[in-house]
Amino acid sequence: MGVELAYTDAVAQATRGLYAKVAAVIPAMEWPVHAPLIDAINRLKREKKAVILAHNYMTPEIFHCVGDFTGDSLALAREAARTDAKVIVQAGVHFMAETSKILSPQKTVLIPSMQAGCSLAASITGADVRLLKQKYPGLPVVTYVNTSAEVKAESDICCTSGNAVKVVEKIAADFGTDTVIMIPDKYLARNVAAQTRVKVITWEGACEVHERFTAQQIRDYRSANPGIVVLAHPECPPEVVAEADFAGSTAAMIGYVGTHHPERVILITECSMSDNVAAEHPETQFVRPCNLCPHMKRITLGAILHSLETMTTEVVVDPVIAMRAKSPIDRMLAIK
Ligand code: SF4
């Protein structure tokens, strides 16, 4: 490794302001482990004209201390496309890096671990989508952004967990149908179906983090923490969403905490997000269920530094697939 990684006075000085951002969630005795890596990454990314996209499920030392843009996968890819950076480092999982490449074909997109996959993205292939289209001819295919580029390329429109109901209704109207195919998340599809008259045919995919939550767990959290506000992600099973006070995307949950300032809250989603939001909202007490995404957790400060030093691993999307995959994303973005 070409960079000196010691917690020197200079490193302590350079990272003091960053520690202030995460002091509520990272103990002081841990900081000397993170600080030299953070300092090295921040220097190297300036040298290489790189930006780091940090997903909401990254750990706080990544999210708050090296991320140039933070948020959900689509917002990150859109922000990166607007910058004049030459290099994008995706602190997230592989399908997110593909989306960044689709929206920024001229930039070099790096992912610090090629093993950072996703149970939703892995549940379906482009060939599966072609078979679905043969089975249900004429029905539009609505594809959650948590999918590979080749799956997006076979789709009519993409959706996020925030806009899924609107997208389903719009594409059904455009196709003059009362039924859509919505892939690959069976729980998101059921949660959407509960909010619209459009019928939804779905796929057997699930997020391995959100599907582990149960309705009984939510009831237990409520009885142990009277008055707590429960916010759930729509990738959770419908019976979990039914127990929540509010269901929404990661961005919507962050917005809820920022707007309502609940005294006590529980975010039914990947556990690093609670740390990241808690760091910015000391007025709110967070009860933290810990369902970790093993794929997201492959992205560490050490892996990011190595990625920048060696310019690996570059994410490549076949230009024809990228062009076809961009079209359903653009169609979604055109919906007001
Ligand atoms: S949290 Fe779920 S949807 Fe997100 S990357 Fe992990 S497995 Fe995939």
Q: What is the pLDDT of residue 167?
A: 98
> How many CB atoms lie under 10 A from the CB of residue 158?
28
Ligand 1 pocket check: which of 90, 111, 295, 299 to mutate, most ligand atoms within 8 Å of Cβ? 295
pLDDT digits (tens, 9 = 90+) for 98-139: 999 999 999 999 999 999 999 999 999 999 999 999 999 999
> How many CB atoms lie under 10 A from the CB of residue 117?
16
pLDDT digits (tens, 9 = 90+) for 141-177: 999 999 999 999 999 999 999 999 999 999 999 999 9
Determine the average pLDDT of the residues in 248-265: 97
Task: For residue 95, give the ligand 1 atom closest to its CA.
Answer: 5
For 207-246, b where at least 16 C-beta lie within 10 A, e where not — what string?
bbbbbebebebbeebbeeeeebbbbbbbbbbbebbebbee
Contact present, 89 and 44 (Cβ < 8 Å): no
248: tokens are 């929404």
Task: For residue 185, give the ligand 1 atom closest to its CA.
Answer: 3
Report the nearest-CA residue for atom 2 of ligand 1: 207
Cα 27 to middle of ligand 1, angstroms:
27
pLDDT digits (tens, 9 = 90+) for 9-61: 999 999 999 999 999 999 999 999 999 999 999 999 999 999 999 999 999 99
pLDDT digits (tens, 9 = 90+) for 24-33: 999 999 999 9
Cα 274 to middle of ligand 1, angstroms:
15
Nearest Cα residue to 139 out of 176, 190, 186: 176
What is the CB < 6 Å shell around ligand 1?
57, 93, 118-120, 146, 207-209, 270, 293, 295-296
For 76-102, b where at least 16 C-beta lie within 10 A, e where not — what string?
bbbbbbeeebebbbbbbbbbbbbbbbb
Cα 314 to middle of ligand 1, angstroms:
21
Determine the average pLDDT of the residues in 211-230: 98
Cα 177 to middle of ligand 1, angstroms:
31
Contact present, 3 and 44 (Cβ < 8 Å): yes
User: How far is residue 270's CA from residue 293's CA, in Å, rounded to a whole number?
Assistant: 6
pLDDT at 4 over 70: no
